[in-house]
Amino acid sequence: MTRWTTTAAVKAISAVAFLGFASQAMAADVTWDRLLNAQNDDANWMMYHKDFTGHHHSGLKQINTRNVKNLKLAWQHNPAATKRGIQGFPLAVDGMVYYTTTSGTIWALNGATGQPVWHHAAKIDVERAEGTFYNPYNRGLAIGHGNVYMGTTDGRLIALNAKSGEVVWDNEIMTVAKGNKGFTGAPVIVKDMVILGANGGELAGCCGPIYAVDAKSGSVTWQFDTIGGDQRSRDSWGNDSWKIGGGGGWMTGSYDPATNTVWWGTANPAPDYDYIGGDWMNNGPRPGLNLYSSSVVVLDADSGELSAYFQEMPHDAWDFDSAVGEFLMVEKDGKRNMVHPNKGGIIFVYDADSVGGGNELAVNNAYMIGETFNYIKGVTKEGRLVGRRELPEGKHMDVCPAIDGAISWNTGAYNPKRNTHFMLTQEFCFDIEVVNPERPDDFSGQAYFGASWTSKAPKQKVDGTPVDAAYGTLQARDPLTGKMKWRVEYKYPVLASLLSTGGDLVFVPGADGMFDARDAKSGKLLWQSNMGTGAHGGVITYMVDGKQYVAVVTGWGSHVAGNYPGLFGAPFDTMSTDTGTLMVYSL
Amino acid sequence: MLFNVSITRLTHIAFMTLCAIGLNISVTHAEEDVTDIAAGQINPKYTQYKENFSVKRLFASRCSWCHQGYGLKEADGPRLSGTDKSKEYIIEQIAYGKSPMPGFRKQLKPWQIEALADYIKALPDVEL
């Protein structure tokens, strides 16, 4: 396979620029070149993270700080009932919009009018899918090579013709023999492969595979086992505990063309929590570091071999996995940084070029953005945890954040012109009783936790300021130094992803259903609209026939959202958990 | 069945009252004791299948993700204490699930499912 070179890139960029005008009318195929250069194509949103910079930023500026007050609903689409809302990112390509509902139905609509073009309801093996507690989840799709690709909760990857919706192939990628697991994350296309990772952090079984599937034929090109795949990993799980160790890579990662590497975050180890407490290197259910759980793995895109890694949570004792799929490429002073948020509320800044050889990534910086944490005292600039609060068997009060983390799987966004990273935090805690868990009898993906808990409001911030209710924040920071530029508090932590635009706006779909547009420079609220129900999915922008649209999915109901009635009461105590709508706004 | 106050319920009320009249015990401790009392009634029935069987331990290992506070608090799944459902219904629910709750018939043995159902039925109608 040829390596991607700078010259090829330049050629590709000019080719795309040349095709730019024609593409909408022609509905040109989404080729690898187009995907590779997606950051220069703001009319379209062609992959989960928009492009391989991972910025969730579009240069479109027809809707901007001056006129956003005139933003109105252009059209909306109601799919059939969608349990747990809609959680994916819509995609917008050449005048079409594609999105998935949680049960695995894909809708293809006219991007300007919302008129349905085709839809496909994947036939799910309900018996298998509903054997896991990630049902019914689906977080989106990939588009390219003439097809639309979606993973399913029963372990399949489906390719549909992008124009007609006809099934091109429908393959079981993951068999039950490897654990009753499946796919909830959106796949991402890299070259002629479709990459996707399995769920299963807290499910007994192994080995949390990440797959590269041939985009044309649907056969597996390579497989990387996040646990137990190499000797170093096996050695870091005493008593062969990797065999029931969970793992996985359930959110969508990214690709770095310069090094031809796939960057992926991995899930926590099983069992969740560890009753042995501080002696975890030698004893307990999974003695050792538990590589490569709660880690970032960097894989050679052609072979799937481990190129580099960094374990963000060594022997994760809190379920603060690294599966957050956001990998932000930020170049500064000739240095390429890969910025990655971790569920524990830490932002890791990796040296993007410290890859090759399977060694630890070099960390340029690391800092905390959570405000009420006490599970550690902090993190060093080198990315090492300081002052771990282990949770041995027994009761522990006011552990912060709760299992839901300070950062969830929803993405932030980055405005490259302002060098500002917009990030969300969730500030709530729990009382937890850690137990020596019942070890499952077999390894086929049984739930495997070691605790019971109740979530609650934090009592204080890290700096000692008293707190009397759970809350959330939207923070604007320099992603490399962590320096805060502005901060807005949200009464209800936002569980949807963010969008940054060239119009100097940040879009925030709220948990209570209020959709905000804020000034990227100051955080000032410039526009707000009630979407009718809470949101915890994606938000994108695109252009059709010279008109800019903002598309956002709504719908409520998930593990994290489940805490809200208890934490806040209204409006969450009556919020529906089986509806959702695609809402599209324009001027 | 509104006035069918069980022994556990009475014990709990007595305990809460003691707290209220000034014993220096936090409410959290009192409520966790409620689950201990329920488990204490159930565990001996099942030690024939497993020595030192603890229904709370089993609950924590399989159900806690969605049912907080050993069943006393609504979260992703509903509060289980005070359910008006029959034991048979609860056994069915655990075995077959109801999306998004997974079915556990392939993961748990019938006696484990029954123990969980007994435990849920033994929980008093209290909420965390």
Answer yes or no: is pLDDT of A224 > 60. Answer: yes
Per the CB < 8 A criterion, the answer to whether B118 and A151 are in contact is no
Report chain B residues whose CB lies below 8 A from the CB of A565: 74
Per the CB < 8 A criterion, the answer to whether B62 and A431 are in contact is no
Of A271, A431, A452, the CB nearest to B28: A431
Interface check B59 vs A, CB under 8 A:
yes
Interface check B58 vs A, CB under 8 A:
yes
Helix axes B87-96, B110-122, angle to 10 degrees: 130
A55: β partners: none
Nearest to A248 by CA among A202, A193, A314, A300: A202
DSSP string, A435-494: ------SS-SS-B-B-EEEEEE--SB-TTS-B--S-EEEEEEE-TTT--EEEEEEESS--
Query: For residue range A274-323, what is the model confidence (pLDDT) as tens digits?
Result: 999 999 999 999 999 999 999 999 999 999 999 999 999 999 999 999 99
Taking an 8 Å cut-off on Cβ atoms, the answer to whether A136 and B99 are in contact is yes
Answer yes or no: is pLDDT of B1 > 60. Answer: no
Alpha-carbon gap, residue B37 to A213, rounded angstroms = 53
Determine the residue of chain A that is closest to B100 in CA distance: A135
Per the CB < 8 A criterion, the answer to whether A318 and A391 are in contact is yes
Mean pLDDT of chain A: 93
Count of positions (residues) in chain B = 128
Taking an 8 Å cut-off on Cβ atoms, the answer to whether B103 and A131 are in contact is yes
Rounded to an integer, what is the distance from CA A9 to the centroid of its chain? Answer: 27
Alpha-carbon gap, residue A142 to A100, rounded angstroms = 11
Q: Where are the domains of chain A?
A: 25-116+138-163+472-563+574-586
Count of positions (residues) in chain A = 587
Better pLDDT: A181 or B96:
B96
Taking an 8 Å cut-off on Cβ atoms, the answer to whether B66 and A136 are in contact is no
Determine the residue of chain A that is closest to B58 in CA distance: A438
Alpha-carbon gap, residue A132 to A181, rounded angstroms = 7
Interface check A344 vs B, CB under 8 A:
no
Per the CB < 8 A criterion, the answer to whether A540 and A55 are in contact is no
**C-alpha separations of A423 from A329, A339, A383, B38 in Å:** 15, 12, 19, 44
A528: β partners: A516
Taking an 8 Å cut-off on Cβ atoms, the answer to whether A397 and B101 are in contact is no
For A360-395, b/e burial (b = at least 16 CB within 10 A) is ebbbbbbbbbbbbbbbbeebeeebebeebebbbbee
Interface check B101 vs A, CB under 8 A:
yes
**C-alpha separations of A315 from A84, A128, A293, A322, B78 in Å:** 31, 30, 8, 12, 31
Determine the residue of chain B that is closest to A319 in CA distance: B65
Query: What is the residue type of A150?
Result: M
Answer yes or no: is pLDDT of A521 > 50. Answer: yes
Fold of A25-116+138-163+472-563+574-586: Methanol Dehydrogenase; Chain A (2.140.10)
Interface check A401 vs B, CB under 8 A:
no
3-state class (DSSP) for residue A72? strand
Taking an 8 Å cut-off on Cβ atoms, the answer to whether B64 and A453 are in contact is yes
Per the CB < 8 A criterion, the answer to whether A431 and A396 are in contact is yes
Q: Residue A28: what pLDDT? A: 67
**C-alpha separations of A507 from A58, A148, A212, A406, A541 in Å:** 12, 26, 33, 20, 10
Answer yes or no: is pLDDT of A357 > 80. Answer: yes
The answer for residues whose C-beta is within 8 angstroms of residue B65's C-beta and 6 or more apart is A133, A202, A447, A449, A559, B76
Q: What is the dihedral of CA A108, A112, A115, A116, to 10 degrees?
A: 0
Q: Residue B20: what pLDDT? A: 36
Q: B75 is written with which tokens?
A: 């979260």
Q: A398 is written with which tokens?
A: 């006011």
Helix axes B27-46, B110-122, angle to 10 degrees: 140
Interface check A260 vs B, CB under 8 A:
no
Query: For residue range A102-113, what is the model confidence (pLDDT) as tens digits?
Result: 888 999 999 999
Among positive and negative, which fits the CA dihedral B18, B22, B26, B28?
Answer: positive
Taking an 8 Å cut-off on Cβ atoms, the answer to whether A438 and B61 are in contact is yes
Confidence of residue A177 (pLDDT cuts 50, 70, 90): low
Alpha-carbon gap, residue A32 to A112, rounded angstroms = 25
Report chain A residues whose CB lies below 8 A from the CB of B99: 83, 130, 135-136
How many helices (H) and strands (E) chain A has is answered by 5, 39
Report chain A residues whose CB lies below 8 A from the CB of B61: 271, 435, 437-438, 447-450
Nearest to A254 by CA among A316, A320, A323, A173: A323
Domains located in chain B, CATH noted:
34-122 (1.10.760.10)
What pTM was computed for the model? Answer: 0.92
Lowest mean pLDDT among A181-185, A407-411, A426-430, B120-124: A181-185
Query: For residue range A385-408, what is the model confidence (pLDDT) as tens digits?
Result: 999 999 999 999 999 999 999 999
A407: β partners: none
Answer yes or no: is pLDDT of B91 > 50. Answer: yes
The mean per-residue pLDDT over the stretch A257-274 comes to 96
Q: What is the number of CB-based contacts under 8 A between chain A and chain B? A: 97
Interface check A578 vs B, CB under 8 A:
no
Of A83, A397, A454, the CB nearest to B68: A454
Shortest Cα distance from B53 to chain A (angstroms)? 10
Report chain B residues whose CB lies below 8 A from the CB of A435: 54, 56-57, 60-61
DSSP string, A488-545: EEESS---S--EEETTTEEEEE-TTSEEEEEETTT--EEEEEE-SS---S-EEEEEET
**C-alpha separations of A568 from A511, A561, A571 in Å:** 11, 11, 8
Identify the residue among A438, A558, A564, A578 best suited for mutation to test binding to B, counting B beta carbons within 10 A and taking the highest.
A438
Interface check A562 vs B, CB under 8 A:
yes
Longest dimension (CA), chain B: 48
Proportion of chain A above pLDDT 90, given as a percent: 85
Answer yes or no: is pLDDT of A456 > 50. Answer: yes
Alpha-carbon gap, residue A491 to A472, rounded angstroms = 6
Query: For residue range A482-493, what is the model confidence (pLDDT) as tens digits?
Result: 999 999 999 999
Alpha-carbon gap, residue B59 to A383, rounded angstroms = 36
- Using DSSP bridges, classify how beta strands A116-121 and A91-93 pair: parallel, antiparallel or unpaired: unpaired
Interface check B73 vs A, CB under 8 A:
yes
Interface check B62 vs A, CB under 8 A:
yes
A360: β partners: A309
Model ipTM value = 0.89
For B41-65, b/e burial (b = at least 16 CB within 10 A) is ebbeebeeeeeebbbbbbbbbbbbb
Shortest Cα distance from B17 to chain A (angstroms)? 23
How many helices (H) and strands (E) chain B has is answered by 5, 0
Q: Residue A178: what pLDDT? A: 55
Determine the residue of chain A that is closest to B95 in CA distance: A131
Nearest to B82 by CA among B115, B37, B127, B128: B127
Per the CB < 8 A criterion, the answer to whether A551 and A540 are in contact is yes
